[in-house]
Amino acid sequence: LQAAGPVIYERESKFGTVVVTDEGNNTRALRFGRDGVRQSLVKLDDPEHLALAYTAVALTGLTLCAEPKRILVIGLGGGTLPRFLRHHYAEATIDAVDINPEVAIAAITQLGFREDAAMRIHIADGRKFVESVREPYDAIFLDAYGADSVPVHLTTSEFMAAVRRALRPNGVVVGNVW
């Protein structure tokens, strides 16, 4: 997970350095810091490509709910998960939230993420976004990571209670705790 290809994009942010590396074969990785592990691995011409094993496992959570109409992803990263979801749930509304605007810029300019009328990036703290939800979601993916861990305020029982309130009664929450 640590070996990196050539750096093609690097920007400082108040949350650390956002780096995109060229991994070959039309694939790019998002990292936090030049020596950081891959946060996302995106094959630019294939929205179905899930190179990091946890993303395929996370999607199995969708078997526990009906066809999702509203999906929330906390932690945009390179946009791999929202891109896959858009490809398979073309009619769904997908909200992707990331606290770091530089991550969103990298996802759009370097990693092939495209917003559309029903798939939007929100630059916000994931906790505050969840606490402000007015219309519940069918599926919520918790995939927010700093350089090496989940931000602590996204691991509390209070946050999980807010997530539950933001979810439809028959909805599903999937959390990446790698």
- Give me the active site residues, please: 143
**Residue 61: helix, strand or coil by DSSP?**
helix
CA 150, CA 148: separation in Å to the nearest integer?
A: 7
Could you give the angle at the alpha carbon of 80 between the alpha carbons of 147 and 2, nearest 5°? 40
| Residue 107 DSSP symbol | H
Structure tokens at 130: 């969840």
- Pure H helices in 19-172: 53-59, 80-88, 101-110, 126-131, 157-165
141: number of Cβ within 10 Å:
26
